[in-house]
């Protein structure tokens, strides 16, 4: 982040754009595909391109939008929708942690950065450290905009072309899972300590076992956060030193 204090003259606009595009490209691909699936679902349920456009622009959350379609079809009461939306998306409340300073540098677009922050964008932002020639403020913004627009475009393509394309698309949403797996692999390579990953894995399985598939997300993230705070000194030392202390994950839990 030292880049931010440098004067903007040291940056190349063209290379910043190319860098933003390159780091967004797996997301753009997966958003076009999953957005397309959402567009088809809405079209088949009898809703208009305007519904799809507004969802993509203002909800911008794949998991909620796809879960929302059968709930709309079933005419779920609006008050129930408030709770459903909260439960499905509660994980987002963890994403902003550590991003206030970075997003504030966007000035007037600070609120946009807070809004345009779904799982996949969180992935790239958490993984990168920009090269010296890249303007980090512009790169963040362009990445956010490109991803958002590809999500909206995917939905619109789906709702307009859903009729034309007749082959069975089921399973295409695996693209989102694939993206998360790729980011996990990248982080595994880049993180100096793997303690945070072990904590995430163990928390996920414990909460999956206790709370079940539909409700484990919020407890799992909370548990990860608590363990990370409890093991702060230890993890921090490992992250700084870069020497992996291969602690058994079960042991970590016992200590907690």
Partner 1 sequence: MNDQIYAFAVIGICAVVTIMIRALPFLVFGSKKLPDTVDYLGKVLPGAIMIVLVVYCLRGISLTSAPYGAPELISVFLCAILQLILKNSIPSIAVSTAVYMMLIRTVF
Give residues 169-228 in contact with partner 1 (rule: CB under 8 A). Answer: 170-172, 174-187, 191, 194-197, 199-201, 203-205, 208, 213-214, 216-217, 220-221, 224-225, 228
In the complex, minimum distance from the CB of residue 9 to partner 1, in angstroms, rounded to a whole number: 29
Structure tokens at 159: 């709702």
Q: Which of residues 47-76 bind partner 1 (CB under 8 A)?
A: 47-48, 51, 54-55, 58-61, 64-65, 68, 71-72, 75-76
Which of residues 139 and 223 has its CB atom nearest to partner 1 in the complex? 223
Q: Are 159 and 39 in contact (CB under 8 A)?
A: yes
Query: What gap in Å lies between CA 65 and CA 59, rounded to an integer?
Result: 7
Count of residues binding partner 1 (CB under 8 A)?
A: 94
Triad 52, 55, 57: Cα angle to 5°? 105
In the complex, minimum distance from the CB of residue 235 to partner 1, in angstroms, rounded to a whole number: 6
Q: What's the first-to-final CA gap in the chain, in angstroms? A: 33
Query: What gap in Å lies between CA 164 and CA 152, rounded to an integer?
Result: 19
Among 6, 86, 160, 251, binds partner 1 (CB under 8 A): 86
Three-class SS of residue 87? Answer: helix
Query: What gap in Å lies between CA 186 and CA 174, rounded to an integer?
Result: 18
Q: What is the CA radius of gyration of the chain?
A: 20
Which of residues 58 and 160 has its CB atom nearest to partner 1 in the complex? 58
Q: Which of residues 107-166 bind partner 1 (CB under 8 A)?
A: 114-115, 117, 119, 122-123, 126-127
Which of residues 8 and 180 has its CB atom nearest to partner 1 in the complex? 180
Q: What are phi and psi of 2, to 5 degrees?
A: -65, -20
Q: Are 166 and 51 in contact (CB under 8 A)?
A: no
In the complex, minimum distance from the CB of residue 67 to partner 1, in angstroms, rounded to a whole number: 9
In the complex, minimum distance from the CB of residue 111 to partner 1, in angstroms, rounded to a whole number: 8
From 129-137, 150-158, 232-240, 241-249, span contacting partner 1 (CB under 8 A) = 232-240
For the chain, count helices (H), then strands (E). Answer: 14, 0
Using rule CB under 8 A, residue 103 touches partner 1:
yes
What is the contact mask toward partner 1 in residues 17 to 46, using x (rule: CB under 8 A)?
--------xx--xx--x------------x
């Amino acid at each position: 982040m030292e880049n931010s204090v440098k004067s903007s003259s040291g940056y190349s606009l063209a290379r910043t754009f190319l860098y933003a595009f390159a780091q967004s490209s797996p997301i753009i691909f997966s958003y076009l595909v999953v957005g397309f699936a959402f567009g088809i679902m809405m079209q088949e349920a009898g809703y208009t391109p305007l519904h799809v456009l507004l969802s993509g622009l203002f909800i911008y959350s794949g998991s909620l939008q796809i879960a929302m379609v059968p709930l709309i079809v079933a005419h779920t009461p609006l008050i129930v929708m408030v709770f459903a939306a909260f439960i499905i998306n509660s994980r987002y409340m963890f994403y902003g942690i550590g991003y206030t300073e970075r997003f504030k540098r966007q000035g007037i677009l600070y609120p946009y950065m807070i809004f345009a922050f779904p799982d996949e964008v969180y992935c790239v932002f958490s993984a990168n450290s920009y090269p010296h020639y890249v303007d980090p403020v512009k790169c963040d913004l362009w990445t956010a905009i490109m991803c958002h627009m590809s999500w909206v475009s995917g939905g619109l393509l789906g709702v307009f072309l859903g009729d034309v394309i007749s082959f069975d698309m089921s399973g295409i949403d695996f693209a989102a899972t694939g993206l998360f797996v790729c980011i996990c692999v990248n982080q595994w390579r880049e993180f100096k300590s793997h303690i945070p990953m072990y904590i995430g894995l163990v928390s996920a399985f414990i909460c999956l076992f206790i709370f079940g598939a539909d409700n484990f997300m919020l407890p799992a993230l909370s548990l990860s956060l608590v363990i990370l705070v409890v093991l702060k000194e230890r993890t921090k030392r490992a992250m700084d030193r870069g020497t992996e202390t291969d602690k058994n994950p079960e042991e970590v839990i016992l200590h907690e």
